[in-house]
Structure 1
């Protein structure tokens, strides 16, 4: 589902860059709520957040010809919003002569780290799934029972109706194949 949304986002963005203003409107509608929710993790000032989101889309609209190809539009929007919020908070701090200690700055790195960890987890899960799909069904079943369902060898023998040594051999061949495929 997430991959399909990303593909449609990339398609909408390409269509927008080609001059389709309805695609721009769809991009906005598709991302406004998720950007707002993300922004609330960075600031509690909802008016500032709304202004920054609109500024991001205005800049996207005015600079569309200069942007070129963007591989991940959603990430681009998140990063643009974060940068815009940081700029606005810095301006406010500078204009008010308030020291950094007096301003309750949100911890942007926490939100960024969470997002990056989530993306990394998705990529790792996808890699594991592709590697497991290359094993025989019996190897995949044995490894799944052992590593994911945390079954003991005796339980795996019973479930798969195999003797102990055969399960060990199956596991060894499956792990060896995974190591070869992963390298």
Structure 2
């Protein structure tokens, strides 16, 4: 199914800001499944994910400051809000578990290996290569898994990814290509050519 364009979503957001609550429902329906999928990869606690998404949309609906915000890219805004909210909940839970109120940092772990099945469904490559890609991705560091997911599955720009992951645009580019290089170390050269062709063909077509 084709996702709504940025222009369509921006029109919905502007319509909601002028008082059309049906537009708000349409925004939720557009992004809720993507947010859930991303959230499940940031936290194994599904209640934390669903609570976070609910809180984000409640804030948008009820708080005038957020409702009237000049949001240029709503999808990016929602992903950033979800990542930050989950991080804060995990940080708070970690402090409660350790009884250490001075504990500052909790590292977000990209738990679930990225699934390429849907994106590769229309490509004529063997199931063996798909499995190789799955196993190779599972070996990547958490941040490399996350950037592949955001770039390949969510089709986000490096600018949006940099804001979501709290890194510079240049660091986002380097991290993505580092992830590609890491995959090269886990996959045979013959299969690698096919996989890289798929990655960069889809990237350059966006």
Between structures 1 and 2, the one with greater helix share: 1
Structure possessing the higher radius of gyration over alpha carbons: 1
TM-score between the two structures when normalised by the length of structure 1: 0.56
Taking structure 1 as reference, are residues 85 and 23 closer, same or farther at Cα in structure 2, changes over 3 Å only? same
Structure 1 contact 56–80 (Cα < 8 Å) conserved: yes
Moved more, 4-13 or 105-114: 105-114
* C-alpha distance in 2 between matches for 1:72 and 1:111: 23
Who is 1:71 aligned against?
Answer: 72
CA deviation map 1:2-54 (0-9, x unaligned): 5x521111111111111111111111111110100111111111111111110
Which stretches of structure 1, 4 residues or more, deviate above 6 A after TM superposition? none
> TM-score, normalised to structure 2's length?
0.50
CA-atom RMSD in angstroms: 2.8
Q: Is the 8 A contact 2:42 2:109 kept in 1?
A: yes
Separation (CA, whole Å) in 1 of partners of 2:32 and 2:92: 24
Equivalent residues, number: 119
Q: Which runs of 5+ in 1 are unaligned?
A: 122-147, 149-183
- In structure 2, what is the equivalent of residue 85 of structure 1? 86
Cα pair 2:87 2:108 within 8 Å, conserved: no
Unaligned runs of 5+ residues in structure 2 are 111-141, 159-196, 198-206
Partner secondary structure for residue 42 of structure 2: coil
